[in-house]
Amino acid sequence: MSAKQAHTFHIDGMSCDHCVRTVQTVLDQIDEVEVESVVLGQATVRFDPEKVAFVDLASLIEEEGYVVKP
């Protein structure tokens, strides 16, 4: 069993509280993800990389109109 790992996404295009809530909501909808914090420009989450792929999480954020930087 793999342990959850923390990762911080650096996100371009977030400019207000609405953006923060949007990213928070998208990440909260994934059962295997624990959202630690979402602030302007970044989101920190914990997830098991054997169950959830980083690129899938980044894609969900980008579908909302933001850009996830490596």
Identify the band that residue 48 occupies on the pLDDT scale cut at 50, 70 and 90.
very high
Q: Is 4 exposed, middle or buried (0-12, 13-18, 19+ CB in 10 A)?
A: middle
- Is the pLDDT confidence value at 70 over 70? yes
Q: Which helix (H) or strand (E) holds 40?
A: none
Which one-letter amino acid corresponds to residue 45?
V
- Is the pLDDT confidence value at 28 over 70? yes
Percent of the chain with pLDDT over 90: 94
Give the separation between CA 52 and CA 41, rounded to whole angstroms. Answer: 22
